[in-house]
Amino acid sequence: MGILNINDDSFYAGSRLANSESAIASAEKMINDGATIIDVGGYSSRPGADNIPIETEIERISPVIRDINKRFPDVLISIDTFRSEVAKEAIKNGAHIINDISGGGIDSKIYTVAAENNCPYILMHMRGTPQNMVDQSNYKNLFKEVFLELSEKIANAKAAGINDIIIDPGFGFSKTIDQNFELLQHLKSFAIFDRPLLIGISRKSMIYKTLQTTAEESLNGTTVLNTIALMNGAKILRVHDVKEAVEAVKLVSKELY
């Protein structure tokens, strides 16, 4: 899954795309590099990001989704949003998947949008909002609470009529760096949900702060952690750098006969 951020505020400068033309060029490169899903987002979810109006988010993502759908009809498009109105408009414009960082915790109507359109739904674990999530990492038992909260949201999504649910542990969302690595070390435990597992750790602070570097210098660290994730059950990698992720998938999945 290639990341396409239609904003000027994402934590990684290399992913910020200010207009439709640059977004389409970036999407084309990722597709040529092997992406099978393009994840389009118009709302920056970095810690402390501005809470932009719904209308602005729709204006950013709609023309890009239409253009990708028209030019690359065989590629799946996911809409990265937690707002039901944005998800609804994205699907009208050609999106196939809803990728909700809040797992329905901010706008539960998004469950209905996914169900009514028979959309696969990516349900991520997060507490709070992008504006306050850094203050929501006080867990007494990280695994017990993350698993319980995911279980409750999966149950709510199923009750709403969603058939295809993909889960995301939410690396970097309402979790400290140490908590992120704790989740990564026990990634196999998420198999208990019997759902495809999406991992989004590309160039995040758990990498560059641990290595005392920057997001721009975190490609190698990203590949290392993506490889660990693949070896422990990850089925989808959400990344900025598709070529390197595809190579990791090919090497990890190589079978010897």
Say which of 204, 209, 243, 254 is annotated catalytic.
204
142 touches 185 (CB < 8 A): no
Computed on alpha carbons and rounded to an integer, the radius of gyration of the chain in Å comes to 17
Catalytic (active site) residue 238: yes
Catalytic (active site) residue 71: no
Here the tokens at position 4 are 């396409």
Q: Give me the residue label for tokens 């674990």.
A: 125
Say which of 238, 243, 250, 254 is annotated catalytic.
238
217 touches 176 (CB < 8 A): no
| Residues assigned a catalytic role | 204, 238
